[in-house]
Structure 1
């Protein structure tokens, strides 16, 4: 049985509210770890964009606050391999859930030739070697490679994995699994070199697979619901059939319930979580590359209406452009160029802005500068930079 119909506008307003996009967190209300927890995770393959994603959700925060949360004495964030195998900031307090859930997602078909693939036993041996090498250490990728090969065998170092300008050793094909299993994360750079270590831990092991995956689904629905199993599967890069089984288990135990959204009775929320804002979103926001909100929110055609669907998506993929939001939907793209402390923010609206919206946009640009610890200036015009890979 479904509850009363929910409009997409109300769902969108609740998503933005819960992610501190409607009103940024006040000082003392939520720190970087809490904010990323509200987002579930912050994609961080572009580090400055991830810092901006988090900082914009906190009143008065800067990128240094995010860095302190990552590298300080009591870190509340961990930089590691998250959903979709991509680099993310994850809340340290939720690592037992994340490692349990990510390790449980069935692997897809291997892209490597049969002779280059790792067996399950070899994968386990490499992950164990990575964890042992990083215990109490901070290693560059070359140092880690030497340790893994020394602890396993020459086969792990065979150059069989296509890379940007050459070939990588075989063991790196499962490096992300070491992150998923909780034995690898990023450490502060050594000069310009990336380093790795073991994640900070409270001693809690990964949650059991079923407990962790069901908890992650509930957390996803709280942050981005109403949502469908297909939308969760896309976000998690998980097999559709496996996700359908997880949803079915949660539904049968009464932990999630189906709702109607814009006439479609196929979306889900956490059981009893059916209160939605009465007012739609108003105002202007700037979101950087790969912001969690645009990646996880569906349906795409509602968040990217009209021209935005072609201009602000890359073949239907969200996150590859920084976006301008007007009243909760994508209404343009933007780009920033930095020279010392000067940051030029070029914004390309897809429709004329009102005088009030222009003032809000100027305020958002100023806030971007504050987060990035620079002086931002606004230029309204065409963005010539293409989509990020």
Structure 2
């Protein structure tokens, strides 16, 4: 008979493995990024907070140092094609896995000239050209466009791609594809301008793992961090076709790598034997209060959503069922509200909107959490418990 998991037990394990039960000691930002499978960094400050909050005494400066000085972190396109901070040492797994996911069928996107933005052959040329252009340097978009015109040809830089009421050069349709192939990542900002570089500068000689090996590694690591879970949950987190994820889980189950269990009575999968033998001894009760920033991985990767976002939280803290668009207030490990911060100089106004009244113990824990946020951001926080008027992040 399948092993049965209660939601409270599974969630306690996820919180512990995500560094949310208590901030970890003697770990680096790269260690934390590896354990949680990346920190979403479309909002860069939120990605920095996601990592720092999981490390005792860490600040956003520690994360920035790991990214830009030690290069133990890399800023690149990760799951769902979105910008993430990933452990640099994990690039072989990530690039092998992401470049090996089958693409959803459909007509190719077309440019203003009516032609496909990139044919498969052109895409291959552009990805290789990007790697060559960035091999020894950090280039802005304009500089990379000029370089690709010379390396690949003028067709690659034709301004035909619709974007934000302007037209981008054709090659930009392959930005996340180049990142997944391991030829592009973000470099240092140059003022307000983004730069790109080649991640081989920071992890010389790496190669993407073979797709099958990378998919096995990524699925098992996902289930250790966020399982038990269903193939559909893995697919949604990764931005992959559901049928492909179902086939992957089935093949790993047949090989004995994964086993079927139940989570609150529904079929789910875990790494074989993971959690047997006294699991609860190291998964203590959930923390009274945690503040998760925009797009924190815990809120996005954890399922079922209806259990993590119970009752009113499902409507208030999700945007049309989409997680991440609101910073989350966790109460005893589940979503119990939203919050927002506004900074002016060193002053950080933190407004927290709980969905139920806070007792004295929770209010004290919230004050401690807000004070910790201030230390992470090197600011002076001021807490207001009230309505968050700001809408969801796009």
Shorter-normalised TM-score: what interval?
over 0.9
Equivalences for 1:376-387 in 2 at 5 Å?
376-387=381-392
2:339 pairs with 1:339: no
Counterpart for residue 179 of structure 1: 179
Structure 1 partner of 2:311: 306
**Could you tell me which residue of structure 1 aligns to residue 68 of structure 2?**
71
Residue 232 of structure 2 corresponds to 230
The answer on 1:40 being equivalent to 2:42 is no
**Paired residue secondary structure (1:98):** helix
Task: Indicate the residue corresponding to 1:104 in structure 2.
Answer: 100
Provide the C-alpha distance between the structure 2 equivalents of 1:274 and 1:8, rounded to a whole number of angstroms. 14
Aligned pairs (5 A) from 1:128-277: 128-199=128-199, 200-264=202-266, 266-275=267-276, 276-277=279-280
Q: What residue number does 2:333 align with?
A: 328
Give the aligned partner of residue 54 of structure 1: 51
Measured in 2, the distance between the counterparts of 1:250 and 1:141 equals 41
Q: Which has the higher mean CA deviation after the structures are superposed, 343-352 or 154-163?
A: 154-163
The separation in 1 between residues aligned to 2:121 and 2:380, in whole angstroms, is 53
Measure, in 1, the Cα distance between the counterparts of 2:171 and 2:265. Answer: 49
Q: Separation in 2 of the partners of 1:387 and 1:110?
A: 31
Mapped partners of 2:381, 2:52: distance in 1: 15
TM-score, normalised on structure 1? 0.96
Which residue pairs with 1:88 in the alignment?
84
Aligned partners of 2:20 and 2:287 also within 8 Å = no
Q: CA RMSD in A?
A: 1.2
- Change in 2 beyond 3 A, CA 1:290/1:111: farther
Q: SS where residue 269 of structure 1 aligns?
A: strand
Structure 2 vs 1, CA of residues 310 and 211 (structure 1 numbering), >3 Å: closer, same or farther?
A: same
SS at the partner of 2:275? coil
TM-score (ref. length: structure 2) = 0.95
| Contact 1:110–1:117, Cα closer than 8 Å, also in 2 | no
User: Matched residues in 1 for 2:280 and 2:126: separation?
Assistant: 49
Alpha-carbon distance between aligned partners in 2 of 1:118 and 1:84, rounded to the nearest angstrom? 20
Q: Does 1:20 align with 2:25?
A: no
More off after superposition, 148-157 vs 5-14 = 148-157
1:156 is displaced (CA, Å) by 1.2
Offset at 1:373? 1.0
Cα distance in 1 between the residues matched to 2:35 and 2:72:
13
Runs of 4+ in structure 1 off by over 4 angstroms are none
* Alpha-carbon distance between aligned partners in 1 of 2:341 and 2:94, rounded to the nearest angstrom: 32
Q: Give the corresponding residue for 1:286.
A: 291
Alignment of 1:345-360 (within 5 A): 345-360=350-365
The alpha-carbon deviation at position 217 of structure 1 amounts to 0.4
**Uncovered stretches (5+) of structure 1, i.e. residues with no partner:** none
CA distance in 2, matches of 1:6, 1:116: 48
Local SS of the residue matching 1:65: helix
Query: Does structure 1 conserve the Cα–Cα contact (< 8 Å) formed by 2:108 and 2:116?
Result: no
Q: Deviations over 1:308-351 (max 9, x none)?
A: 10000000000000010000011111000000111000001110
Q: Does the Cα contact within 8 Å between 1:116 and 1:160 map onto a contact in 2?
A: no
Question: Number of matched residues?
Answer: 384
Deviation at 1:110, TM superposition (A): 5.0
Shift of residue 203, structure 1, vs aligned partner: 2.0
State whether structure 2 residue 375 is matched by structure 1 residue 374. no
SS of the equivalent of 1:189 reads coil
Give deviations 1:229-265, integer Å, cap 9, x for gaps: 000011111111111121111111100111111111x
